[in-house]
């Protein structure tokens, strides 16, 4: 079994900031585990601007923001990075098991920081009924398809929910030449940032339906249409308000949830950046959902420091 | 044109079971399927329950074949390397009147030879099924009930049948059947087939196929069932399959354990007209949730990660399995709804007997490959085994689907074994069936498929032509 | 005098701006919490501009798509025209973050730069 002072799970903005911070606070034996083949996490697909205004006092795109940390990590020899590595188990004695091509590794750490980010809520979580054809994507998957893979998911799009990724993707589809036919938001105002409403929705004359919800998805092989209804402030249907929108693609952008399955499986409970087990920490979006990556960075720097203090106190 | 001994229409669990059973004999056999992949009809939305034989009258085909099938499936699953777990079932009674019903069910099942049945009391229930509603007064416990992955079972049956010489033709829709000199000529969307014996296992469309040979005395009515899948975290929600008392048209809303770990609640039972309507509804959702909570009050709708609807092919009260004298050589295997999966091995034996009784010589092959090498699944392997697998092939350690822990190697294998669509990969490997619904792994799976099959990315579909995932590739613009 | 309401997009704050216009000249901007808001309002009324971000196709490099952006804002009215140019770009040499992909992109007087390193 390998031994490390600090194991960090997740090489996105949270994990990278925590690693740098822990190093700067005296930890010299760090393993950073990332499941993808690159560091940077979800920032790599967030190619739009809007990152870094608080932390770097500059307006950067996601990959540029990530790059600043990637460069730092590469310069620090004491941070070992294991890419294409998926952690499959965490135990409350701070043992981490991960798989990577060719290997199954178990690492015993003095401290563990979980920086596993978040995932998007699915259509199922908001109970949209109807059929299950091709053409239903989470906004993040659509973002990955277009920005990373160069693939356009569809040409006539309805976006469910007005989370920031959904708004950003409305613009992205419009720029690619697709028609964004509607954004449907059940609440009476946007869930995303106002600036995104302006530059992603209004700039492209995309119809924004507040107090509306999708009642059903239609289509056998591919999405064909959705039915939409107006709701009151308690989300109850307003009779007679039902109408249909033809589309071939539906994006779901109804919020994010922290990825905490490994922590849960270990029987560990999350408390203010720490957990019920001394030496197991959690930061970034896996701790709580932040609006901005700058806040994720701040939170993770703090967590890196806490982990360093913990490790020092063990000696 | 090649003359087949037997052609089977429909590659669901019934068609593939029959094909595999007949592949023991020196016969030329072809299996025709209209969809892009096998098990894409009725079988894909099966609950995966291997029933003990407690819920159908002893005199019915359903009852007899279910009890036999429960016995036979143990051997077959071993031969094919499919996991069969004997988890046992509980039919729960909530009052005195229901206890009488339980006793009647027990008696009927015992006539069928179902063993191990016992009536269990409140204390037993509390100890063995702690999450069960306290209002349950007693239950009928059937230890021989089990679970299996319905689609993996079909794929493994088909793979084994192919190894033993069966031809499988997908995307081959039967358009017409013509009698020529005592043979059947089958006009399909692809080519013309000719056979001595023809077996109709066309599921929802069995009535339409039967009509083509002039047998028009039954109708298949789709009965929709909506099912809701819970997060794997809730794997231990129950220790057994939990049933309420059955109604006239269905077994009611159940708490189902599945071979994949995720519990499932459902199904509804609603007679509909459209044989292609697989939509779920708000009313189905509330009904299932309400009924399921009557059994297990702690079920939370937040734990539901997926749902789907399936259609049962109903043709009256019982299965229709018979040789049609009016069209010699034509065998109807129709109306195979629940307990069809359980009964499938027994149905295959019955069909073989019917063929023999109607003049087909069943001569055993010198070599029949009964066994199939078990497919490796990382999600079902302990670390010690995973380590060995990775040593054998590094890409077992390359995890593509992280929610369900599916490796690149498993996905490549699934494609080599016949997966042609994203759903085909999902049903074989579980990749994309977890809580994120493929948001993280869909692109990687698409790329692996494109590499392995040399298909363009724009040609990759969810479940066959018309269900392409993306519309355009910047690289080929 | 006409009053125009705008939402500032310079930062996530999203200040609601009120712009007083007389004889097509801006005489007052209110509601902004920082000087950037005023600059934004003026630009938005006189000549609205945006930074364009997208990705371009690579050939034979480690990434299929390379994220790019214009290094300065471009007129909003020319965004779709610029997108058509972006779709035609092919990159076959390694780039660092900030490297110029296309100089004087689409005659707009801005450069198209890479926002991610690609080998």
- pLDDT (tens digit per residue) in C75-87: 999 999 999 999 9
Which tokens sit at B142?
């059937």
The Cα B205–Cα B221 span in angstroms is 9
CATH topology of domain B1-82+148-220+315-374: FAD/NAD(P)-binding domain (3.50.50)
Residue A131 and residue B278: Cβ atoms within 8 Å? yes
Q: How far is B198 from chain A (nearest CA, A)?
A: 30
Domain count, chain A: 2
pLDDT band for position C22 (cuts 50, 70, 90): confident
Domains of chain C are 2-46 (2.20.25), 53-114 (3.10.530.10)
- pLDDT (tens digit per residue) in B25-68: 999 999 999 999 999 999 999 999 999 999 899 999 999 999 99
In the annotation, is B437 catalytic? Answer: no
Contacts of C64 in chain B (CB under 8 A): 475
- pLDDT (tens digit per residue) in B373-429: 999 999 989 999 999 999 999 999 999 999 999 999 999 999 999 999 999 999 999
pLDDT band for position A313 (cuts 50, 70, 90): very high
Q: How far is B477 from chain C (nearest CA, A)?
A: 9
Mutate to test the interface with B, among A33, A36, A86, A120 (most CBs of B within 10 A): A86
- Stretch C47-52: mean pLDDT, rounded? 94
Contacts of B397 in chain A (CB under 8 A): 99-104
**Chain A 3-42, residues with CB within 8 Å of chain C CB atoms:** none
A149 closest CB neighbour out of B397, B405, B443: B443
Q: What percent of chain C has pLDDT over 70?
A: 100
CA-wise closest residue to A166 among A249, A254, A248: A254
What's residue B242's pLDDT?
97
Contacts of B475 in chain C (CB under 8 A): 57, 64
**Chain A 131-150, residues with CB within 8 Å of chain C CB atoms:** 146-150
- Stretch A86-95: mean pLDDT, rounded? 96
The Cα C5–Cα C3 span in angstroms is 7
What's residue B449's pLDDT?
97
- pLDDT (tens digit per residue) in B272-307: 999 999 999 999 999 999 999 999 999 998 889 999
Give the mean pLDDT of chain A.
Answer: 96
pLDDT of B247 > 80? The answer is no
What's residue A128's pLDDT?
93
The Cα B124–Cα A147 span in angstroms is 57
Mutate to test the interface with C, among B447, B470, B473, B475 (most CBs of C within 10 A): B475
ipTM: 0.96
C12 closest CB neighbour out of A44, A193, A203: A193
CATH superfamily of the B83-147+221-314 domain:
D-Amino Acid Oxidase, subunit A, domain 2 (3.30.9.10)
Contacts of A141 in chain B (CB under 8 A): 438-440, 442-443
Q: The domain that contains A196 carries what CATH number? A: 3.50.50.60
Residue C65 and residue A44: Cβ atoms within 8 Å? no
- pLDDT (tens digit per residue) in A168-227: 999 999 999 999 999 999 999 998 999 999 999 999 999 999 999 999 999 999 999 999
pLDDT of A160 > 80? The answer is yes
Q: How far is A149 from chain B (nearest CA, A)?
A: 8
pLDDT of C26 > 90? The answer is no
Residue A221 and residue B276: Cβ atoms within 8 Å? no
Contacts of B308 in chain A (CB under 8 A): 132
C69 closest CB neighbour out of A61, A70, A147: A61
Give the mean pLDDT of chain B.
Answer: 95
pLDDT band for position A268 (cuts 50, 70, 90): very high
Same domain, yes or no, for A138 and A162? Answer: yes
- pLDDT (tens digit per residue) in A1-34: 899 999 999 999 999 999 999 999 999 999 999 9
Q: What percent of chain A has pLDDT over 90?
A: 95
* Alpha-carbon A167 to chain mean position: 15
What's residue C1's pLDDT?
81
Contact A115, A286 (CB under 8 A): yes
Q: What percent of chain B has pLDDT over 90?
A: 94
- Which of A225, A252, A279 is the C-terminal boundary of a domain? A252
> Is residue A291 classed exposed, middle or buried when 0-12, 13-18 and 19+ CB atoms within 10 A define those classes?
exposed
Mutate to test the interface with A, among B440, B455, B465 (most CBs of A within 10 A): B440
Residue B306 and residue A101: Cβ atoms within 8 Å? no
From chain C, which residues contact B within 8 Å (Cβ)? 57, 64-65, 87
Residues 6+ positions from A236 with CB-CB distance below 8 Å: none
Contact B224, B242 (CB under 8 A): no
Q: What percent of chain C has pLDDT over 90?
A: 82
Same domain, yes or no, for A203 and A177? Answer: yes
Residue A127 and residue B285: Cβ atoms within 8 Å? yes
Q: Residue ranges per domain, chain B?
A: 1-82+148-220+315-374, 83-147+221-314, 384-476
pLDDT of A97 > 80? The answer is yes
The Cα A4–Cα B10 span in angstroms is 57
What's residue A251's pLDDT?
97
B471 closest CB neighbour out of A101, A141, A153: A153
Cβ atoms < 10 Å from Cβ of C41: 23
Contacts of A64 in chain C (CB under 8 A): 97-98, 115-116
CATH topology of domain B384-476: Arc Repressor Mutant, subunit A (1.10.10)
pLDDT of A273 > 90? The answer is no
Dmax of chain B from CA atoms? 71
pLDDT of B211 > 80? The answer is yes
Same domain, yes or no, for A187 and A306? Answer: no
**Chain B 452-471, residues with CB within 8 Å of chain C CB atoms:** none
> Is residue A235 classed exposed, middle or buried when 0-12, 13-18 and 19+ CB atoms within 10 A define those classes?
exposed
B477 closest CB neighbour out of C64, C65, C87: C87
What's residue C12's pLDDT?
83
Residues 6+ positions from B243 with CB-CB distance below 8 Å: B55, B89, B90, B91, B92, B251, B252, B254
Residue C87 and residue B475: Cβ atoms within 8 Å? no
The Cα B363–Cα B257 span in angstroms is 40
DSSP character string of chain C: -EEEEEE--SSTT--EEEEEEETTEEEEEES-SSHHHHHHHHHHHHS-EE--EEEEEESSSS-SEEEEEESS-EEGGGHHHHHHHHHH-EE-S-B-TT-EEETTGGGSS--EEESS-B-
Residue C87 and residue B474: Cβ atoms within 8 Å? yes
Residue A292 and residue C51: Cβ atoms within 8 Å? no
- Closest residue in chain C to residue A50, using alpha carbons only: C11
The Cα B99–Cα B92 span in angstroms is 9
Contact B255, B263 (CB under 8 A): yes
- Stretch C91-96: mean pLDDT, rounded? 96
Contacts of A118 in chain B (CB under 8 A): none
In the numeric block, the tokens 């494609």 are attached to B415
CA-wise closest residue to A22 among A313, A310, A307, A315: A307
Q: How far is B474 from chain C (nearest CA, A)?
A: 7
Interchain contact B477–C (C-beta under 8 A): yes
Contact B215, B203 (CB under 8 A): no
DSSP character string of B236-260: TS-SSEEE----SS---SEEE--TT
Same domain, yes or no, for A127 and A106? Answer: no
Interchain contact B476–C (C-beta under 8 A): no
SS3 content of chain B, % helix, strand, coil (to 5): 35, 25, 40
Q: How far is B130 from chain C (nearest CA, A)?
A: 50
What's residue B201's pLDDT?
98
What's residue A198's pLDDT?
93
Q: Which residue is catalytic, options B51, B240, B323, B377?
A: B51
What's residue A55's pLDDT?
96
Which tokens sit at B387?
């380590």
Q: How far is A309 from chain B (nearest CA, A)?
A: 32
Same domain, yes or no, for A128 and A78? Answer: no
Tell me the backbone φ, ψ of residue A239, rounded to 5 degrees. Answer: -60, 140
- Stretch A46-54: mean pLDDT, rounded? 95
pLDDT band for position C24 (cuts 50, 70, 90): confident
Same domain, yes or no, for A148 and A136? Answer: yes
- pLDDT (tens digit per residue) in B152-169: 999 999 999 999 999 999
- pLDDT (tens digit per residue) in A100-140: 999 999 999 999 999 999 999 999 888 899 999 999 999 99
Instruction: Say how many CB pairs under 8 Å bridge A and B.
Output: 133
Beta strands, E only, B189-285: 192-200, 221-230, 241-243, 254-256, 264-266, 270-271
pLDDT of B233 > 90? The answer is no
What's residue B477's pLDDT?
76
The Cα B126–Cα B82 span in angstroms is 32
What's residue B421's pLDDT?
97
B81-91: burial string, b at 16+ Cβ within 10 Å, e else: ebbbeebbbbb
CA-wise closest residue to B125 among B233, B234, B242: B242
Angle of helix A164-175 versus helix C79-88 axis, rounded to 10: 80
Contacts of A61 in chain C (CB under 8 A): 53, 67, 69, 115
Domain with A272, as residue range(s), is 2-117+259-314
pLDDT of B16 > 90? The answer is yes
pLDDT of B251 > 80? The answer is no
pTM: 0.94
How do beta strands B221-230 and B270-271 pair?
A: antiparallel
- Could you give the 3-state DSSP secondary structure of residue B196? strand
Q: Write down which chains contact chain A via at least 3 CB pairs under 8 A.
A: B, C
Which tokens sit at B111?
């006539």
What's residue A8's pLDDT?
98
Contacts of C58 in chain B (CB under 8 A): none
């Amino acid at each position: 079994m390998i031994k490390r002072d600090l194991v960090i799970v997740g090489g996105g903005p949270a994990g990278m900031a925590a690693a740098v911070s822990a190093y700067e606070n005296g930890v010299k034996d760090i393993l950073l585990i990332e499941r993808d083949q690159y560091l940077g996490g979800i920032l790599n697909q967030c190619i739009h601007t809007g990152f870094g205004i608080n932390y770097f006092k500059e307006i950067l795109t996601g990959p540029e923001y990530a790059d600043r940390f990637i460069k730092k990590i590469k310069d620090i020899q004491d941070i070992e990075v294991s890419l294409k590595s998926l952690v499959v188990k965490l135990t409350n004695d701070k043992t981490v098991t991960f798989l990577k091509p060719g290997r199954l590794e178990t690492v015993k750490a003095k401290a563990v920081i979980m920086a596993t980010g978040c995932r998007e809520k699915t259509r199922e979580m908001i109970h949209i009924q109807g059929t299950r054809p091709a053409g239903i994507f989470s906004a993040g998957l659509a973002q990955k398809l277009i920005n990373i893979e160069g693939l356009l998911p569809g040409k006539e799009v309805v976006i469910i929910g007005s989370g920031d990724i959904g708004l950003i993707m409305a613009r992205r589809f419009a720029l690619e030449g697709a028609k964004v036919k509607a954004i449907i938001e059940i609440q009476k105002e946007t869930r995303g940032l106002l600036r995104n409403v302006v530059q992603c929705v209004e700039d492209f004359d995309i119809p924004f339906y507040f107090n509306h919800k999708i009642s059903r998805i239609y289509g056998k092989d591919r999405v064909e249409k959705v039915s939409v209804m107006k709701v009151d402030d308690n989300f109850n249907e307003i009779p007679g308000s039902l109408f249909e929108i033809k589309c071939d693609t539906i994006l779901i952008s109804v919020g994010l949830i922290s990825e905490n399955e490994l922590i849960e499986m270990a029987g560990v409970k999350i408390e203010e950046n720490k957990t019920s087990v001394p030496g197991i920490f959690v930061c970034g979006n896996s701790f709580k959902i932040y609006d901005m990556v700058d806040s994720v960075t701040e939170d993770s720097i703090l967590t890196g420091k806490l982990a360093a203090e913990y490790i020092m106190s063990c000696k | 044109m090649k003359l087949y001994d037997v052609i089977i229409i429909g590659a669901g669990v019934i068609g593939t079971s029959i094909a595999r059973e007949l592949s023991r004999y020196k016969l030329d056999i072809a299996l025709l399927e209209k969809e892009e992949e096998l098990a894409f009809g009725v079988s894909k939305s099966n609950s995966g329950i291997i029933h003990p034989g407690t819920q159908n009258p002893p005199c019915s085909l359903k009852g007899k074949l279910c009890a036999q099938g429960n016995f036979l499936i143990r051997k077959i699953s071993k031969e094919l390397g499919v996991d069969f777990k004997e988890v046992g079932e509980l039919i729960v009674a909530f009052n005195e009147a229901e206890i009488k019903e339980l006793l009647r069910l027990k008696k009927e099942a015992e006539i069928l030879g179902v063993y191990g049945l016992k009536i269990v009391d409140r204390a037993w229930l509390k100890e063995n099924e702690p999450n069960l509603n306290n209002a349950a007064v007693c239950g009928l416990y059937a230890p021989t009930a089990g679970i299996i992955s319905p689609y993996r079972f079909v794929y493994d049956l088909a793979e084994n049948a192919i190894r033993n010489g069966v031809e499988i033709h997908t995307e081959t829709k039967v358009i017409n059947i013509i009698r020529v000199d005592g043979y059947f000529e089958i006009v399909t969307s692809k080519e013309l087939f000719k056979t001595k014996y023809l077996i109709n296992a066309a599921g929802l469309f069995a009535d339409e196929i039967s009509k083509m040979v002039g047998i028009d005395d039954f109708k298949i009515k789709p009965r929709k069932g909506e099912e809701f899948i819970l997060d794997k975290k809730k794997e231990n929600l129950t220790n057994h399959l939990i049933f309420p008392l059955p109604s006239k048209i269905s077994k009611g809303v159940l708490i189902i354990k599945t071979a994949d770990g995720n519990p499932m609640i459902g199904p509804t039972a609603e007679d509909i007209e459209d044989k292609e309507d697989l939509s779920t509804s708000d009313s189905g959702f509330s009904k299932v949730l309400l009924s399921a909570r009557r059994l297990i009050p702690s079920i939370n709708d937040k734990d539901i990660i997926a749902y789907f609807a399936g259609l049962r092919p109903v043709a009256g009260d019982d299965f229709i399995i018979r040789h049609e004298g009016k069209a010699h050589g034509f065998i109807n295997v129709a109306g195979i709804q629940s307990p069809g999966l359980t009964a499938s091995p027994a149905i295959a034996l019955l069909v073989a007997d019917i063929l023999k009784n109607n003049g087909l010589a069943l001569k055993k092959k010198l070599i029949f490959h009964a066994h199939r090498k078990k497919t490796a699944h990382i999600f079902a392997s302990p670390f010690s085994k995973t380590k060995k697998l990775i040593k054998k092939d590094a890409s077992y350690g390359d995890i593509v689907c992280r929610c369900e822990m599916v490796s690149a190697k498993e996905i490549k294998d699934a494609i080599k074994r016949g997966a042609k669509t994203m759903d085909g990969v999902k049903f074989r490997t579980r990749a994309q069936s977890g809580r994120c619904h493929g948001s993280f792994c869909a692109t990687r799976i698409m790329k692996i498929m494109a590499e392995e099959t040399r298909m363009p990315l724009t040609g990759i579909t969810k479940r066959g032509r018309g269900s392409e995932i993306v519309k355009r590739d910047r690289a080929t613009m | 005098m006409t009053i125009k309401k705008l939402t500032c997009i310079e930062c996530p704050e999203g200040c609601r701006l009120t712009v007083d216009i007389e004889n097509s000249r801006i005489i007052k901007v209110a509601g902004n919490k920082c000087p950037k808001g005023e600059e934004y309002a003026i630009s938005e009324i006189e000549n609205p501009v945006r930074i364009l971000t997208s990705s371009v196709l690579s050939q034979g490099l480690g990434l299929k798509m390379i994220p790019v952006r214009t290094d300065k804002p471009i007129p909003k009215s020319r965004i779709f025209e610029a997108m058509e140019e972006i779709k035609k770009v092919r990159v076959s040499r390694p780039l660092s973050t900030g490297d110029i992909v296309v100089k004087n992109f689409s005659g707009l007087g801005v450069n198209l730069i890479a926002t991610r390193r690609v080998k």
